[in-house]
Amino acid sequence: MQINLEDLRHHYASLSDEGLLEIDRDELTEIARRCYDEEVEQRQLTAPDATQEEADYQEEAREAVKLDTGDKPDWLEDAACACSFASDPNGDSSSEVENARDALQAGGIPCHVLFHREDPPRVDPRPALCIRVMVPGALNLQATSMLDKEIFNPGIEADWRAHLEALSDDELRALNTEIICAGLLDRIKRLRRAYDDETGPP
């Protein structure tokens, strides 16, 4: 019988916090476990008996990637993920994380690094590590904008330049900047409209 992901997500979403935490995660199938974890994470719940296990995992991950995350801040329960970096057992994302953290702190935005264990694909039994840079929820939009400007946009610009340099003269002249920038401009317009709708007339 094929498992319907939407039915699983709907079922977990319909449960109370207590009912959700009463489920034995170890007895779930891999697909059901992922849906369950998504719901628990979305609600920012932690099973009582998993608190020490999670603390131990955070400590092991800190030592593995040699990244000092500092003390747990008071605002972490209401935090949002400003950016994340994948780090496999043979990789190292600590420098990228530190760059993001430095950019945020330079802009006056507090942040904290958390480690999240991703279920590995079946072809690779090793657990993957996701490093998340968390910020206070109310500062999430400001943080992501700052990271785009200081960290990610320069890399995107370099990719654009490499792509344009690879085009022939005819292909380059055939491009229309109004068209290729339309998606970015539309995103700006939508964000400003959402803000204006929420704040209302002056």
DSSP string, 168-185: -HHHHHH--HHHHTHHHH
Q: Report pTM.
A: 0.64
User: Which neighbouring-strand residues pair with 81?
Assistant: 134
Cα(182)–Cα(52) distance, rounded to whole angstroms? 49
What pLDDT shows up at residue 92? 60
Tokens 């055939």: give the residue.
174
Spatial contact of 88 and 131, defined as CB atoms under 8 Å apart: no
Q: Name the band, by pLDDT with cuts 50, 70 and 90, for residue 122.
A: very low
What pLDDT shows up at residue 69? 77
